[in-house]
Amino acid sequence: MPSASAAPVAIMWFRNDLRLADNPALNASIKWAQQNNGIVLPVFILDPVIDAQLGGATRWWLEKSLARLDESLAKAAGGKSPCLRIFKSDARVVFNQLQADHKIGALFWNRLYDKASITRDTDIKSALRDDNIDCDSFNGQLLYEPWEVKTGAGTDFKVFSPFWRACLKLPPPAEPKKAPEKIPLGNLKLANETDIAGLDLSPKPFDWATGFADRFTPGEQGAMDQLYGFIDDRLVDYADLRDRPDHRVTSELSPHLRFGEISPRQVWHAANHYADAHPGQGKTASKFMAELGWREFAHHVLFHARDLKSLPLQGQFTDFPWADDPKALERWQRGQTGFPIVDAGMRELWHTGYMHNRVRMIVGSVLVKHLLIHWHEGLAWFDDTLVDACPANNPFSWQWIGGCGADAAPYFRIFNPVLQGEKFDPDGSYVRQWVPELADMPAQYIHKPWDASPLILKAAGVDLGQTYPEPLIGIKEGRERALAAYQDMKRAVA
């Protein structure tokens, strides 16, 4: 049996908040330890709830992020790694064991908002408080708690614009706290702990995430570098070019926010400081902060929905006549649909773990409308392949594009992948980057190679159906089929 700690212990339970700066639960743990002549025990537990929310790409990110967090803890504690204590078990079992073996006086964490996490956390908080252990949770994930933003009638919001206006009427988010300079860690011997390697997070059955590190640097320092690289170099163009995948002007902070390597308060105030320092750039800063608002809205909807991942918020879509077409689904997943902008996005996703937001809307629309494949299938693929996939944003976005979610694009709004490509990738540079077999196509035909003459195709080295696939379905045919299915659903529920 491990030797018990003589000093009282405050457990800091890290989850999706893998940072030291602006971490209210960590600050509470340190304060409690100082007030009680105790120590802080930082833990991460890969329990069934968290494990179920991870796909291959997010597992890759988590492995790297935990290592960076451990290094930061060691530096703040003036010691050597490992400082972050790792477990792979049910969280209740871990805390019961720690209680039995050590002088546990407090447990702190930052809140999560999905139903499974809320149920687990509520049970743990109740049990520990019954044992007279200080137990508290904090907002380390959002600008505003889901229950703080209400309609005039006191209910939750269903539409983004009034939700965001209500947020902006609330007191501004508090200034972010700096990282603690010192953390009083002990050197406890713990039963049944493992290490990061023991979590077995590497993608299986083979490491298909090798290209992710060329795009991203997981960890708190990587998040700060990403934030200020965006603020200093790209925010100025954000309002005008944010929908252009051929211009990388978006922040690409979403995976850092998903794992809490940076807080939304830090991002909010950095953008605000930029606007204050550049009086003519208020519009672009506001556009960017509205994207934080969409993240807030997704969590607001997640908190209030019954089951955002499984059940359509608009119940009539339960009876939608989805198609069962595994071959079309696989071609979509592999970037072989025959629609160049779609294939570029799906290949970018596979190679980098990321996809531009405009392209996410295009590929999603083609899947659920032109191909009539259930949004559950797109959600599952993105859950596995996106480094920023999370329980709020991913299902919220798929319900939005499927026409069945909160403030959703109507199902009959069907993106034309050719027109979308021509508008947002006008010279085809994005397509050329990710679909090299079309690299020599003239810009006039890069988004619709089937319209090019045999002579033009031959000059570009393109043999439709051989070197590049024919479209899975005609654009007009797919649109008409989708609208017919929509009318069938409406008749079925009338």
CA–CA distance, 219 with 179 (Å, rounded to integer): 14
Q: Tell me which DSSP letter residue 45 carries.
A: E
Q: Who's near 290: CB < 8 A, 6+ residues apart?
A: 164
Q: Which residue bears the tokens 């609330």?
A: 170
- 3-class state of residue 132 by DSSP: coil
Helix (H) or strand (E) holding 108: strand 104-110
DSSP classification of residue 194? B
Placement of tokens 């713990």 in the chain: 190
Q: 3-class SS at 90?
A: coil
Tell me whether the omega of the peptide bond preceding residue 279 falls within 30 degrees of 0, making it cis.
no
Q: Which 8-state DSSP code applies to residue 211?
A: T
Q: Backbone phi, then psi, for 309, in 5-degree steps?
A: -75, -30
Count how many Cα atoms sit within 13 Å of the Cα of residue 282 in the half-sphere of its side chain. Answer: 3
If you write DSSP's letter for every residue of 266-324 in order, what string do you get?
Answer: HHHHHHHHHHHH-GGGHHHHHHHHHHHHHHHHHHHHHHHSS-TTTS-SSGGGGG-----
Taking the C-alpha atoms of residue 242 and residue 246, their distance in angstroms, rounded to an integer, is 10
What is the number of residues in the chain? 494
Name the DSSP letter for residue 366: I
Return the number of other C-beta atoms located less than 10 Å from residue 430's C-beta.
26
> Residue 4 corresponds to which amino acid?
A
Q: Count Cβ atoms below 10 Å from residue 322 Cβ, excluding itself.
A: 18
Q: Which residues are catalytic?
A: 291, 294, 322, 357, 375, 398
